[in-house]
Amino acid sequence: MDSEDRPITPSHGLPETHSSPEEDKSVLQIWGKSSLKGHVTISGAKNSALVVMAGALLCPQDCRLRNVPSLADVSRMGEILASLGVKLTRQGDVLDINASYIGQSTAPYELVSQLRASFFVIGPVLARLGVARVPLPGGCAIGARPVDLHVRGLQAMGADVHIEHGTVNAYVRGPSRRLKGAKIYLDYPSVGATETLMMAATLADGETILENAAQEPEVIDLANFCRAMGAKIQGAGTKTIVISGVPSLHSADYAIIPDRVEAATFLVAGAITQSEISLSPVIPDHLTAAIAKLRAIGALITPESPNCLRIAPGHGLTATDIETLPYPGFPTDMQAQFMALLTVSEGDSIVTETVFENRLRHVAELNRMGADIRVKGNHAVIRGVPTLSGAPVVATDLRASAALVVAALAAEGKTTIQGLHHLDRGYENLDTKLQKLGVKLQRLQGDSTTEVETAPLTPIAPN
Ligand code: EPU
């Protein structure tokens, strides 16, 4: 085996994960008032990669995934698949998955509790084996995040589902142990429930219709991957998805879409520093809401090519209102970063979070940096201030950590961000990518003052 060609275990292949946040003592220091310049390469989409990895469980043959980002969450999903008996090998951004043998129908609590997306394995494991036991993932920093829609959908497809001792036990009775196609209306267009039920339906007996389905690009990506394996799926990306079950799927070679949230985070970084940068690969259609809001705030965004965007300063930054909604509405995963931008945009903005009940925890940290934000219920009222000031801050969740990074870029002086295990879950090589754009930053490991990376003195030219 090539030295680069390693099976995924907790200590090989993908980057190691912090086993507990308490162990994560590293901090990121960022010196603000940077002007960014150059080009940034956008990685594969985290939320596509995670669910497509789960989707590979549907296939009894080799599957090759390309453009898989190197992230702590991807590592954790790899550990969960490995715990079920699946073989994984990674080389660069190519991940080979062989789920010909699934020796376990039970996912381990220690892993599922660390990564909510791992609950999504319930759909493909149940479809393949007729039985699946997956612990309830529990709440997380941004909300309670129940899985009732996943469970009700699987029940509609004929599964017996019981929740006992914190674990969801799902069985399909009958000699074939096959789920049955059903017409399912989702009370809310949940991304995860749509994905779980779409995967389960690919191998079900008959036709499944998902009404009020999520329309996110990651749902389409999963559908395209399943289709590459021979699944019959129509309507992904609309509110109605129709899946005709097939007896089995076959091997596929599939490239994950670019990460729209990472792209939006860099666009915000360009806007807040009044810089000119370009990014690719991106799918501009996936960024429609973010681009509309950036233009309303005052940034100039132009397509350089079908998969490359350039952002440049307009005439200052102006307040605007934002409400998060399911796609194609404004994404909750971009709310915190945009709020950071609005803190230095002239006038009063209102940000309303409607998707998760507890996703405004970055407000207190942004206020520590001199922002003027008041929260009432799920609304945040942001009064633009002329400038932020660097401060020690703590990241409370993944996108909150990105908001603090973005705020730090525009702040006077040094910002020290703790809680980097959140950042490392979802942003591949963020430190290096920012450094290449000319940002001065360094990561200090643990209690020591070991300098892990230092800033280049001159930014690279755009390419
Ligand atoms: N919900 C229920 N019952 C369910 C499922 C969801 O009430 O059975 C509720 C949730 O509690 C939440 C809302 O519905 O209030 C939306 O949840 P959804 O199921 O759509 O989200 P998810 O599938 O758990 C994915 C992403 C999130 C992203 C949301 C919304 C993955 C792995 N995660 O989560 O990504 O915010 O969709 O777009 O795909 C992130 O990347 O930072 C992140 C949190």
In this model, does residue 24 exceed pLDDT 80? no
Residue 110 Cα to ligand 1 middle (Å): 20
Query: How many Å lie between the centroid of ligand 1 and the Cα of residue 191?
Result: 6
Give the C-alpha separation, 264 to 348, whole Å.
22
Token pair of 183, please?
């017409």
Residue 402 pLDDT greater than 60, yes or no: yes
Residues 84-110 have pLDDT tens digits of 999 999 999 999 999 999 988 899 998
SS3 assignment, position 348: strand
Closest residue by Cα to residue 407 from 422, 397, 425, 392: 392
Of 318, 332, 255, 328, nearest in space to 286 by CA: 328
Phi then psi for residue 210, to 5 deg, are -100, 115
Residue 381: per-residue pLDDT: 98
Looking at residue 445, what is its pLDDT?
A: 86
Q: What is the average pLDDT across 74-83?
A: 95
Give the pLDDT of residue 12: 33
Q: Decide if pLDDT at 460 tops 80.
A: no
pLDDT-wise least confident of 93-107, 138-152, 386-400? 138-152
For residue 23, pLDDT over 80 is answered with no
Ligand 1 atom with the smallest distance to the CA of 426 is 41
The model's pTM is: 0.93
Tell me the catalytic residues.
140
Euclidean distance between CA atoms 326 and 213, whole angstroms: 10
Contacts of 414 (CB under 8 A, 6+ apart): 29, 30, 31, 32, 390
Which pLDDT score is estimated for 21? 55
What count of other Cβ atoms lies within 10 Å of the Cβ of residue 113? 16
Top-confidence residue, 399 or 12: 399
- 189 Cα to the center of ligand 1, angstroms: 9
* pLDDT for 455: 37
Residues having CB closer than 6 A to ligand 1 are: 47, 50, 116-117, 143, 145-150, 188, 190-193, 214, 216, 218, 331-333, 355-356, 398-399, 426
Q: What pLDDT, on the 0 to 100 scale, is given for residue 34?
A: 81
pLDDT number for residue 139? 63
> Which of 149, 256, 355 is the pocket-test mutation for ligand 1 (most atoms within 8 Å of CB)?
355
Nearest CA owner, ligand 1 atom 36 = 333
How far apart (Å, rounded) are the C-alpha atoms in residues 72 and 462?
29
The total of other beta-carbon atoms located within 10 Å of residue 457's CB is 7
Average pLDDT score, the chain = 91
pLDDT at 145: 80
pLDDT grade, residue 315 (50/70/90)?
A: confident
Residue 380 pLDDT grade (very low, low, confident, very high; cuts 50, 70, 90): very high
Gap from CA of 190 to ligand 1 centroid (Å)? 6
